[in-house]
Structure 1
């Protein structure tokens, strides 16, 4: 899905309208909204998310993924992991298909050999702190929530499971019920996510840095898969292309095995 300017006349529910204000304003008023309005919204989510569940997503994810805790590895082994990165838009059907058809099955087989990352595609204003996303401020807020999950819960099985759960139902991002449900399914504490999103604009800073990373790598299509710093495959418009070696899980796992170590 190629990056295009968002529609300015899009009508948003109250939750997403707040995101529009937060993402477009800056200066003292922006900081007030980031520190006051967003925490108020997410406090509701915290109250609804007091009870955690085990790492099993009954309809979004694979329950056999990472059944045992990842072993502690030596620094040398960690450095030998193969960089695997996807660049996506959170409200994009190609991002959903990319995770479901390629990334999640690959991680089931090769997670211990991979240094996995997810970056987002959007636009930044070089003259201000403003950012924008193709599918509007709701997508920007969804991206922030996923980035904060990765920051607060760096163990990939937690934040990737949460991200997959959210993007599986991408039309509902960032609706409260979806965020609450995915957080509960994957054991994420919304109080900690709330702190990341609201503290001095930390969440927006994460989003800006993520978008800039995609731009630095000349990525404009969601979903773009990069392996060891090179484009490995692109999912766009419901099709796979630019996939040397093929778009199958087995082909990607073979490439990872060949690069590992």
Structure 2
């Protein structure tokens, strides 16, 4: 009888965990922003490694760039110069062509670590010893497809409510507030764990809450 009760309780817990929606984290960023790079390296990536099963992450590489459309010719101007625009487009193309988040997020995280040495060099280095479609990514980044993808990122960024004031700009479950931003930038793991309504994974225990 006890085994039946135990199985019933475990079944309920599993159902609760399965039914709880993942915590949605949308990151609006730009490839050469030092604060964005630090957030990815010190908060987003470590949190993903620990509790990825309860997270749904979306990356939008545009940031504080400006979109220009002169006589039907689309172009972009970026806060940290032309290399940032190139980096943004390469990362947008990586998202499009790799498709699987568990494959393109490690790639983009790798790129962000060394992108100051050049976005294309970083893109090539991070694809070494992988089966990632580097040729397709670079072709995309140098053509109309890349511009269209960055245009989509621009439109999504410019449609934010409230309007983006800085980067990294973190949206949690469709909401951005200063409190959410402060917590995300200082302790994303704790924020994700406290937001998740299902059975908490082990890394959400108090002693693991702080990263950085």
Give TM-score scaled by structure 1 length: 0.59
Which runs of no fewer than 5 residues in structure 1 stay unpaired? 1-76, 235-240
CA deviation string 1:39-76 (max 9, x = no partner): xxxxxxxxxxxxxxxxxxxxxxxxxxxxxxxxxxxxxx
Match of 2:75 among 116, 125, 130: 130
**How far did residue 232 of structure 1 move?**
5.9
Match of 2:193?
Answer: 254
**How far did residue 78 of structure 1 move?**
9.9
Q: Taking structure 1 as reference, are residues 156 and 228 closer, same or farther at Cα in structure 2, changes over 3 Å only?
A: same
**How far did residue 125 of structure 1 move?**
2.3
Separation in 1 of the partners of 2:29 and 2:93? 16
Match of 1:115 among 45, 49, 56: 56
Q: Considering only CA atoms, is the larger Rg found in Structure 1 or Structure 2?
A: 2
How many residues matched? 176
Match of 2:169 among 192, 199, 224: 224
Moved more, 167-176 or 77-86: 77-86
Contact 2:183 2:191 in 1 (8 A): no
Separation in 2 of the partners of 1:170 and 1:233? 28
CA deviation string 1:84-117 (max 9, x = no partner): 1111110111111101121011111222222211
**How far did residue 231 of structure 1 move?**
2.0
Separation in 1 of the partners of 2:104 and 2:133? 12
Match of 1:5?
Answer: none
Name the SS for the 2:119 alignment partner.
coil
Contact 1:114 1:256 in 2 (8 A): no
Tell me which protein shows more helix as a share of its residues: 2
RMSD: 2.8
CA deviation string 1:210-242 (max 9, x = no partner): 0221111122412111111112669xxxxxx94
Match of 1:166?
Answer: 111
Separation in 1 of the partners of 2:86 and 2:141? 9
Name the SS for the 1:207 alignment partner.
helix
Q: Taking structure 1 as reference, are residues 126 and 101 closer, same or farther at Cα in structure 2, changes over 3 Å only?
A: same
